[in-house]
Amino acid sequence: MGYESIEVSVEAKVAHIRLSRPERTTPIALLGRRNLALWTALAADDGASPSPRAGQVREFIATHGASFFEEIVDGTGLLRTQVEEALGELTALGVVNCDGFAGLRALLVPADRRRALGGHKRRRRTALFGIEDAGRWALARRKSGTAGGAEVVEHVARTLLRRYGVVFWRLVAREADWLPPWRELLRTYRRLEARGEIRGGRFVAGVSGEQYALPEAVGSLRDVRRAERTGALVGLSGADPLNLVGLLTPGGRVPALTGNRVLYRDGVPIALLAGGEVRFLEPLAPEVEWNARNALLRRQVPAVLQFLG
């Protein structure tokens, strides 16, 4: 879900991606607008230039300000499909953004599922929204000045602590590769511990290296350890931060894709869904395996069928 809580004003930022248009696997970060300068300071600029048509659209928006899709089409004289492609390219470059998520959603819809531009009908079922419903497009704002390196690293370090409660090097390895390296985060955590703001110690067994935690997280860990085991099943998306299979447990990692799922029982992963296939991480009784499979596939099974199974 990104690194910070979503506020009323949000900014969708695509980093380190140089594509002709966004894809369903394009990483997106959701962040508070007041911290935009801190996060954009981490985004590297590889100097990629937009194509001529994308440059024409960018120039129009820079001259006329935030504009609707129809206004861009009329003002640039480009075809509607050309403007859509140009907006997709500028979005992938992090140059433009939209009033809301509708613009990005429209760009992510496969070509054969998009509503035909110009009102033409298609035989196949299409999305209910299109690029023309996306609101206004504007240049992504950049605050003047550059945030200091130490300030950026400390902000990221605190965000990771709020995200996980406990942070160590193996956990940070699952995050985006454009975050500060662990050695820089480690210096910040040591400084925060010296101030008495966080705790250092051994909170997670089987993990080497230094570990740091929020004070309230330490108490929560103790409560979880003493809690009674109920056998409750909890399924999570593979893109959820709590997808820690292969990081805190033996075996391979589960790709952080929304189509993948991980099933936990009392906080321990017991099964996963990856590539459309269910795999069990430990032997389970037939009834438990049946329930686990249905939980991963998110199927509602009538009670009679559950009993017969």
At which of 183, 203, 226 does a domain end?
226
Tell me what pLDDT residue 76 has. Answer: 96
Backbone dihedral angles phi then psi of residue 12, each to the nearest 5 degrees: -90, 120
| Contact yes or no for 88/50 (Cβ under 8 A) | no
Q: What's the pTM value of the predicted model, to 2 decimals? A: 0.71
Q: Is residue 27 domain-shared with residue 120, that is, in the same domain? A: yes
Other CB atoms within 10 A of residue 3 CB: 20
Domain of 92, CATH number, reads 1.10.10.10
User: pLDDT tens, 179-209?
Assistant: 899 999 999 999 999 999 999 999 988 888 9
Question: 3-state class of 169 per DSSP?
Answer: helix
Mean pLDDT of the chain: 80
Q: Is residue 25 domain-shared with residue 125, that is, in the same domain? A: yes
pLDDT tier at 307 (50, 70, 90 boundaries)? very low
- Which residue range(s) make up the domain with 113? 10-139
| CA-to-CA dists, residue 173 to 151, 185, 216, 260, angstroms | 21, 12, 24, 19
- Asked if the model's pLDDT at residue 177 lies above 80, the reply is no
At which of 226, 245, 279 does a domain end?
226
Tell me what pLDDT residue 93 has. Answer: 83
Asked, for residue 2, whether it belongs to a domain, the answer is no
